[in-house]
Amino acid sequence: MTEFLDFLKHKFAYVAIGEFKPGKFEEAEQLFEKAVSTYTKGFKGAYLLREPGTDKGIAVIFWENIDDMEANQNEAYQSILHQMSPLFTQSPTTSFYEVCSEIPGQSSE
């Protein structure tokens, strides 16, 4: 029965949409990867998307639950965010979403 209940459990996604100052996307990408490397319990994966030819991006970070995300906001994470903040043209828009469907792609094997 536990496996069935786990199947019904949904992950959560933290989504941030923003734009970096001209030429700052690569620096922000390095800081994003550094911040994500600090995550532990409940972290399920992350993507950083970039609109081609621009400094606009979307970060999507998957969590087992929202409490795990909040628990991972430690001092190292906060320091990295502090470094990233001045790279934005303005504060990013952030939201939480429940992952309702997850459809894996086909393996290339």
What residues does each domain of the chain span? 9-98
Strand partners, 56: 19
What per-residue confidence (pLDDT) applies to 93? Answer: 96
* pLDDT tens-place string over residues 50-95: 999 999 999 999 999 989 988 988 888 899 989 999 999 999 999 9
- How many degrees, rounded to 5, is the angle at CA 94 between CA 89 and CA 97? 155
User: How do the residues of the chain divide into helix, strand and coil, expressed in percent and rounded to 5?
Assistant: 35, 30, 35
57, 63 contact by CB (below 8 A) = no
What confidence tier does 8 reach under pLDDT thresholds 50, 70, 90? low
What per-residue confidence (pLDDT) applies to 4? Answer: 47
Fold of 9-98: Alpha-Beta Plaits (3.30.70)
Span of 3-12, 19-28, 92-101 with lowest mean pLDDT: 3-12
The pTM score is 0.84
What per-residue confidence (pLDDT) applies to 102? Answer: 83
Crossing angle of helices 75-84 and 25-36, in 10° steps, is: 170
**SS3 label, residue 46:** strand
